[in-house]
Amino acid sequence: MEIRSLQYFVTAANLNSISKAAISLHIAQPALSRQIRKLERELGVQLLCRDSTGVQLTEAGARLLNKGESILRQLEQAKAEVRASGTDPRGPVSVALMPSVASLIAPPLVMRMREQYPNITLRISEGLTNVIISGLISKKFDLGLIPAKPVDKALSSTSLLMEPMFLIGPGKFQNAKARGVMPAVTLRNLAQYPLLQPSRGNVLREQIETLAKRSGIRLDIREDVDSSAVIKQLVISGLGYTIQCYSFVHEEVERGRLFVQRLRIPDFARQWSLAQLRGHPHSHATKTTASVMLEIANELSRRKDWAMPARC
């Protein structure tokens, strides 16, 4: 398989168009089509379905696209590493962040990388834990910030910090909360709150349900919601509560749209871990980015406002 043919296929698949891909690659459309047909003959499968609207991936094409993008990205990283031998780190680095901390981590990360390592090109994605883990294994992501040590043996991880968890409620109840000192919510008290949480398989959901089960407590989880943005909006609308860290809602709390209440539940905290593919040769740029993320986590661990807000 020629790298050129793979690049042509990936470009056409992402643009859903042979003609647009030809323009993007600065080659004639017939030449591009020939290369893709050559690739299909070599593999013995149809990769693209052509119709009046452009091209669509077949099942085989979707599989090749996933692998092909990873191969091309690794090739670019290798080129950048060779060119950068003995110089500053350079090249692309793909970082995936869990939604609850993306807004907290991304700004300082981008700022420092621009200032200190301008030759490193960051690609930042947001995703739930299972999406990040699968992306690391498929080499779509170089680094992934996840809320626990990965159980998959294909990954290695570095523990960054522990973050306490809170009960998150709608901001319209903030005034009532402020009229008196509200005690921390125990696990038994938590059963009285209608909860909105991610579906089973989510690390936080499994953790709190395991603790409740051990204590013989049944939580009132109303809906499974696998979207951080949707959970926030449902809680803001007064349709339930959720359990999360302060970094998940720090902006909404500052605006008075949400409030947080302490939880008094032993052994209930979230660990941040920086995960990557085990045994994979990581570029100088990737190692440098990981070091910067570790610096940011260390600084956050010394701050009290994000982990224990004054209003709580």
Pick the CATH number of 87-161+271-301 from 2.40.10.10, 3.40.640.10, 3.40.50.1980, 3.40.190.10: 3.40.190.10
Q: Is the pTM of this model over 0.75?
A: no
Q: pLDDT digits over 210-262, tens only?
A: 889 988 999 999 989 988 889 999 999 999 999 988 877 877 888 888 988 88
The CATH number corresponding to 163-269 among 3.30.200.20, 3.40.50.620, 1.10.3720.10, 3.40.190.10 equals 3.40.190.10
Distance, in Å, from the CA atom of 224 to the CA atom of 195, rounded to the nearest integer, reads 9
How much is the average pLDDT of 21-41?
88
Q: What CATH fold (topology level) applies to the domain 3-79?
A: Arc Repressor Mutant, subunit A (1.10.10)
pLDDT per position as a tens digit, 292-303: 999 988 887 776
- Following DSSP, what letter does each residue of 148-194 receive, concatenated? S----TTEEEEEEEEEEEEEEEEGGGHHHHHTS-PPPEEHHHHTTS-
Chain mean position to CA 226:
13
CA distance 301 to 118: 27
Q: How many helices (H) and strands (E) does the chain have?
A: 12, 12
CATH 1.10.10.10 domain locations along the chain: 3-79
> Which of the residue ranges 71-75, 109-113, 284-288 would you say has the lowest mean pLDDT?
71-75
Which percentage of the chain shows pLDDT scores above 90? Answer: 25
Q: Nearest Cα to 230, choosing from 196, 255, 266, 181?
A: 196
Farthest CA pair distance, the chain: 74
Q: Considering the chain, tell me which residue range(s) the CATH 3.40.190.10 domain(s) occupy.
A: 87-161+271-301, 163-269
3-state class (DSSP) for residue 48: strand
Residue-wise pLDDT for 118-160, tens only, equals 999 999 999 888 889 999 999 899 999 987 766 678 888 888 8
Quote helix, strand, coil % in the chain, to nearest 5.
45, 25, 30
